[in-house]
Amino acid sequence: MLELTEQELARHNGIDGARAYIAYEGRIYDVTESWLWRRGRHGAAHHAGTDLTQAMAQAPHGADLLERCPQVGVLVRAPA
């Protein structure tokens, strides 16, 4: 399992060959193969490489959809 900070997660944005990762409740999911995340975007508002924990509260679907994608790591806080 990977351990990524938010800054490291941001590099996995699905652009220019990078894998597309998103975080939710401290877990990081690889959404690269999901047609819903083409080119690192989901709809007009969400981008890969970000923590979507707060955004999920407004989503028209539940977090259970993330279970279709492999968890590849955990989000960690950068040392202060």
Domain containing residue 29: 2-75
What is the rounded CA–CA span in Å between residue 21 and residue 47? 9
User: How many separate domains does the chain show?
Assistant: 1
Tell me which H or E stretch contains 24: strand 21-24
In a domain, 40, yes or no: yes
Which 3 state secondary structure label does DSSP give 43? coil
- HSE, side-chain direction, 13 A CA sphere, residue 52: 23
Q: What is the pLDDT of residues 51-77, one digit of tens each?
A: 999 888 777 676 778 888 999 999 998
23: domain CATH number is 3.10.120.10
Task: Compute the average pLDDT of residues 8-15.
Answer: 96
Res. 78: pLDDT tops 80: no
